[in-house]
Amino acid sequence: MSDCTDVDATPRPVTGPRMTRLARQLEAARDPAARDALTEAFWAEAARTGTPLVEELDDAPGHRAVTFLWRGHRATRRVLLMAPGLTGHDRLADSLLHHLPGTDIWHLGLRLRADHRGSYRMVADISAGAAPADPALLQRRLLALRAHGGADPLNPARIATRWRDARDSV
């Protein structure tokens, strides 16, 4: 791996090449069956290669597009990423994954240094009702949700957590 000591380490939102390509393919799909086939093929690839997706960026050789994924279901309202150093406790709404409309795909892409390593957890909110419109109430709901976080089901790389009998993804 190349020396990344002079590369900006600030995580930034990014849409990686794979998600951009999938969104275009879904838009061009002729019917729901074609969209479902594209979605299933995407999840099969993610299961085979593991997550998060890590892709090179043409305009930033010292960085990678790192896309965290969650396979939701009809009860999924929000999905929260908890990654020390990447996500902050004071603005948890910035750590919510985005839903790809018409699919069960939730994603959040971050531009990270190519040599970045860290642990993370994820949790899906399946509570009834819409998210609170008030940012302070949403923050409280997300803080409570954090207690239920766990390892990424599609990432086999795990590490024991310090405070309880659980595992984080690496």
Instruction: Categorize the per-residue pLDDT at 163 as very low, low, confident or very high, splitting at 50, 70 and 90.
Output: low
What domains sit in the chain, N to C, each tagged with a CATH number?
Answer: 12-152 (2.60.40.10)
Q: What is the DSSP string of 107-137?
A: EEEEEEETT----BEEEEE--SSPPPSSHHH
Tokens of 117: 């390593």
- What integer is the mean pLDDT of 39-57? 97
Phi, psi values for residue 143, rounded to 5°: -60, -45
Instruction: Categorize the per-residue pLDDT at 168 as very low, low, confident or very high, splitting at 50, 70 and 90.
Output: confident
- Report the relative pairing of strands 121-125 and 78-82 from DSSP bridges: antiparallel
Distances (CA, A) of 30 to 1, 25, 33, 62, 67: 42, 10, 8, 38, 27
Instruction: Give tens-digit pLDDT for 6-32.
Output: 678 889 999 999 999 999 999 999 999
Instruction: Give tens-digit pLDDT for 119-161.
Output: 999 999 998 888 889 999 999 999 999 989 999 999 998 888 7
Type of residue at 19: M
